[in-house]
Amino acid sequence: MAAMRFGLVGTGHWARTVHAVALAEAPDVELVGVWGRDPAKATALADVVGAAAYADVDRLVEAVDAVAYAVPPDVQVGLAERAARAGRHLLLEKPIATRVDDAERLAAAVESSGVASIVFFTGWFMPERRAWIEAVRGEEWYGAWGLWLGTAFVPGGPFSHSPWRREKGGLWDVGPHVLSMVAATLGPVTRLTAEAGPRDVVHLVAHHESGVTSTATVTLSAPEAAGGSELTLWGEPGRSSMPTAATTPTEAYAVAVAELVADARAGRGSHPCGVAFGADVVRLLAAAERQLDGRTR
């Protein structure tokens, strides 16, 4: 069977260190080309992975079967919608958008085109965390608490000058990771309650379809010594904590690539972390943001 041809959209730190590496090394995948808003960076990255640099993103889409994105959400959503309508499978970054109407339009394009889609919620694609999800799912849990303390704003870090992260904060950058894990373990989240702390700190209460609640604190402005993520479920079995990450983001991305290839070849369009779930996450985060905007922060 011929390798699935991928295009990579984006040339930033995450694209260079995670997406490009995983795609270039993935079996049954050919990384055909790279497009970025800075042609020089696209050429430099393409040379490293043995692909072609494209000056026109639509030409790249024409040349491939699937497109992987590593660009800000408000750039990603319009480009991905066009690719979906052109019949290309999508490997998206979270959040898929920061506006509900944009997210819903992208989800509709994917559904109408019948393409496969996956949103890269990093922890969900780590085998040790996937195994934990399977082990705890279905048990009688009464709730959970979690911390997602990002350090993106530490001076000199690769994301310290990211404009969209500076604008949207931890709610939108690490909030999706929280929702992917609590939904996987406690069931669908129907709404969020949000309270603001200092800087970009947000305290969330997730209300699940089953009637249980879970809580989490998210931020991108944690000091390096405090950074990390944790989640603990509690209920009839006692307590169960999410395993510490043993898989690198690049290794996790390789899992997502393999699952997208498998879904595309099988004609499946309903991955648990597909664009429909990605749109649900945007709806929840937008509602939480409206709560915060209605209060003094």
Q: Where are the domains of the chain?
A: 4-123+249-274, 139-242
Give the separation between CA 167 and CA 152, rounded to whole angstroms: 13
Both structure tokens of 262: 């498998």
The predicted pLDDT at position 148 comes to 98
**pLDDT class for 296, splitting at 50, 70, 90?**
low
The predicted pLDDT at position 269 comes to 84
Same fold, 4-123+249-274 and 139-242: no
The predicted pLDDT at position 96 comes to 98
Mean pLDDT of 171-184: 98
Mean pLDDT of 152-161: 90
- Percent with pLDDT over 70 in the chain: 99
Of 124-133, 149-158, 212-221, 288-297, which range is least confident? 288-297
**pLDDT class for 8, splitting at 50, 70, 90?**
very high
Per the prediction, the chain carries an average pLDDT of 96
Asked if residue 290 lies in contact with residue 111, where contact means CB atoms within 8 angstroms, the answer is no
Closest CA to 92 of 258, 274, 254: 274
Give the separation between CA 194 and CA 73, rounded to whole angstroms: 22
Give the separation between CA 69 and CA 94, rounded to whole angstroms: 10
The predicted pLDDT at position 297 comes to 45
Asked if residue 261 lies in contact with residue 173, where contact means CB atoms within 8 angstroms, the answer is no
Q: Which fold has domain 4-123+249-274?
A: Rossmann fold (3.40.50)
The predicted pLDDT at position 165 comes to 96
pTM (two decimals):
0.96
Q: Do the strands 66-69 and 52-53 form a parallel or antiparallel pair, or are they unpaired?
A: unpaired
Closest CA to 21 of 54, 57, 48, 53: 48
**pLDDT class for 144, splitting at 50, 70, 90?**
very high
- Percent with pLDDT over 90 in the chain: 95
Q: What is the pLDDT of residues 66-103, one digit of tens each?
A: 999 999 999 999 999 999 999 999 999 999 999 999 99
Arch. (CATH architecture) of 139-242: 2-Layer Sandwich (3.30)
Q: What is the pLDDT of residues 237-261, one digit of tens each?
A: 999 999 999 999 999 999 999 999 9
Mean pLDDT of 182-207: 97
**pLDDT class for 225, splitting at 50, 70, 90?**
very high
Give the separation between CA 16 and CA 21, rounded to whole angstroms: 7
Asked if residue 179 lies in contact with residue 111, where contact means CB atoms within 8 angstroms, the answer is no
Cα radius of gyration rounded to whole Å, the chain? 19
**pLDDT class for 58, splitting at 50, 70, 90?**
very high
Asked if residue 136 lies in contact with residue 185, where contact means CB atoms within 8 angstroms, the answer is yes
Give the separation between CA 171 and CA 251, rounded to whole angstroms: 25
